[in-house]
């Protein structure tokens, strides 16, 4: 009896398991998706149902649903590397479907992962341009405007704020009109609201960078009115709080700036939105700096540096962070920190320069130029001169970009050389080659035979010659100097070669240039002299000769050295 009872129970268990699995098997995609739609972004708990959705799509070879499953996997993954892997899977599934709308959407999705999660603008732009290519023949206006939005973000990052505003205004108008339509599915309304709030946030960023605070404040008020306290839009609310805080900062309302910036941080940190978090930290530091709370200011500035160390990303608008840290280190007489932050600033400039070179040429060549070309094809019947103007403008734009890039690289190189020269000046390196009786040593291998007493006598007189700045005498030759020192030109030449490690002309030139360099650096009055005056003061025959020697010895032109020194003193 017991055996029969156990057998019957096992039968029932197997029967109900089979029944339950058949119910699960026949469950619709829509029902499975409803089970995880309300999970928060980056919540891995959703994957129990997402995997069920993906497996069902694979089994049925339903590639459109498989694309949706991988898209959801990107959204709910908590790790960036998993998001990127699922984004690749989305592209593969979309290509299997052969649907250009899905392929375009998949490339856009991967670009967004590169942009939002990694802040790799170059890689993001490559994906956006692929998405743009596939979108040219599709009817999905929502997708097309998402691509336009993200291309606008790249232009804003490059500093083309007026161009970016055109993109964001177009997106704002589209998303706003869609929100007003009746009988739309709640998910479609939600997506359009997201697009609208993100577009007006990016417009606010552009207006901030062109100093139009009236329009900035207007957009921030609209954003906060519609997102405050709404869980689905908490990320967008944090963006508007950030903009509100920055606006208060520029109005010198530092306490409110600190309040709004602190309110915006938690959501950014939760989503690992490190790029806007670094902007928050900078303006928090700057606000504390202006209310004389140095401890909190430096603490926030250092957080910006920590983010830069970890992600190799910094907004161009907050490079001032390193100038303030350099100034603080200089005040603390911490040479190591000062040099470290100077190197970090050069590194930031170098990364931004590389981004600028790559992104500018790519977006103009593969987007702007193609858009212009598409417009040209639509207007085939127009006069020929119109075509020439388009190509002329493109050529002019490319030329202007090349000139800007060359100028930017040159400025970075000059700044780097100036910092190195400044470090030498501050360490008094320029006088370290003086030989005196205290450090006189006879070389192990003598290249000439001069009495040691004579050598010491010549070196002592050379030291006096250097200390009294007699090298500034115009028309000085080795013969004249030898006569002045009570020796002959041959002995003097040999001593300079052996103990100064150079020939007479170079020795004299270095003394003169080192002297005038230190005068320019240490004495503000010298910053207003002419090049001719510098040459005259240190005994060099002509302006051109002085400029060439200054560049040869210091690595920068006198005018660039003066410009950087003035800028440093102004800051």
Q: List the Cα angle 86/91/92 in 5-degree steps.
A: 95
Structural domains of the chain, ranges and CATH numbers in brackets: 453-570 (1.10.10.60)
Helices (H), 159-250: 161-179, 186-209, 213-227, 234-250
Alpha carbons 280 and 249: distance in angstroms, whole number: 11
Q: What is the pTM of this model?
A: 0.58
**What sign results for the dihedral spanned by CA atoms 331, 332, 335, 340?**
negative
Closest-CA residue to 425 (of 532, 524, 528, 520)? 520
Low-confidence ranges of the chain (pLDDT < 70): 1-26, 362-365, 367-388, 428-449
**pLDDT, tens digit, 9 for 90 and up, residues 1-59:** 445 555 555 554 455 454 444 444 568 998 998 889 888 888 999 999 999 999 999 99
pLDDT at 34: 86
Helix (H) or strand (E) holding 378: helix 369-378
Predicted local confidence at residue 448, as pLDDT? 58
Whole-angstrom distance, CA of residue 62 vs CA of residue 75: 20
| Beta-carbon count within 10 A of 193 CB | 20
d(CA 481, CA 212): 65
Distance CA 566, CA 219 (A): 39
CA 271 to chain centre: 20
CA–CA separation, 437 vs 422, rounded Å?
29
Q: What digits encode the pLDDT tens for the residues 185-207?
A: 888 888 999 999 999 999 999 99
CB-based contact 298:325 (threshold 8 Å): yes
């Amino acid at each position: 009896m017991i055996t029969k009872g156990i057998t019957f129970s096992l039968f029932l268990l197997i029967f109900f398991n089979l029944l339950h699995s058949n119910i699960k098997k026949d469950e619709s995609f829509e029902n499975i998706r409803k089970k995880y739609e309300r999970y928060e972004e980056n919540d891995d708990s959703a994957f129990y149902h997402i995997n069920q959705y993906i497996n069902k799509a694979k089994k049925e070879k339903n590639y459109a649903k498989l694309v949706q499953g991988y898209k959801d996997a990107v959204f709910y993954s908590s790790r960036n590397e998993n998001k990127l892997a699922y984004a690749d899977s989305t592209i593969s599934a979309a290509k299997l479907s052969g649907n250009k709308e899905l392929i375009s959407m998949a490339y856009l999705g991967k670009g967004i992962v590169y942009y939002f999660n990694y802040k790799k603008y170059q890689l993001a732009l490559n994906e956006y341009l692929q998405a743009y290519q596939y979108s040219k023949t599709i009817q999905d206006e929502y997708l097309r405007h998402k691509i336009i939005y993200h291309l606008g973000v790249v232009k804003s990052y490059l500093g083309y704020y007026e161009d970016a505003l055109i993109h964001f205004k177009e997106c704002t108008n589209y998303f706003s009109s869609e929100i007003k339509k009746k009988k739309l599915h709640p998910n479609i309304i939600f997506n359009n609201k997201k697009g609208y709030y993100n577009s007006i946030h990016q417009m606010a960023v552009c207006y901030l960078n062109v100093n139009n605070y009236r329009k900035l404040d207007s957009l921030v008020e609209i954003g906060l009115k519609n997102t405050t306290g709404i869980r689905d839009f908490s990320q967008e609310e944090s963006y508007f709080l950030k903009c509100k805080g920055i606006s208060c900062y520029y109005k010198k309302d530092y306490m409110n700036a600190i309040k709004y910036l602190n309110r915006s941080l938690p959501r950014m940190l939760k989503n690992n939105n490190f790029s806007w978090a670094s902007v928050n930290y900078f303006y928090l530091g700057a606000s504390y700096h202006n209310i004389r709370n140095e401890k909190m200011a430096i603490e926030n500035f250092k957080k910006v540096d920590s983010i830069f160390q970890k992600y190799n990303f910094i907004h161009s608008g907050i490079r001032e962070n390193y100038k303030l840290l350099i100034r603080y280190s200089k005040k603390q007489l911490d040479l190591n920190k000062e040099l470290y932050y100077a190197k970090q600033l050069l590194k930031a400039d170098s990364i931004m320069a590389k981004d600028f070179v790559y992104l500018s040429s790519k977006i103009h060549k593969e987007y702007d130029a193609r858009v212009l070309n598409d417009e040209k094809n639509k207007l085939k019947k127009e006069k020929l001169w119109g075509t020439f103007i388009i190509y002329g403008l493109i050529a002019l734009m490319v030329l202007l970009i090349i000139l800007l890039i060359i100028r930017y690289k040159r400025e970075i190189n000059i700044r780097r050389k100036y910092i190195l020269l400044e470090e030498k000046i501050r360490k008094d390196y320029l006088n370290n080659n003086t030989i005196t009786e205290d450090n006189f040593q006879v070389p192990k291998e003598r290249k000439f035979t001069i009495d040691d007493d004579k050598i010491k006598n010549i070196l002592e007189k050379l030291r006096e010659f250097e200390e009294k700045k007699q090298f500034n005498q115009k028309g000085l030759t080795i013969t004249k100097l030898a006569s002045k020192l009570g020796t002959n030109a041959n002995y003097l030449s040999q001593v300079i070669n052996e103990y100064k490690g150079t020939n007479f002309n170079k020795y004299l030139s270095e003394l003169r240039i080192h002297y005038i360099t230190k005068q320019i650096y240490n004495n503000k009055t010298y910053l207003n002299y002419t090049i001719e005056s510098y040459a005259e003061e240190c005994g060099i025959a002509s302006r051109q000769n002085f400029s060439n020697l200054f560049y040869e010895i210091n690595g920068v032109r006198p005018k660039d050295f003066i410009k950087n020194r003035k800028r440093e003193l102004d800051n």
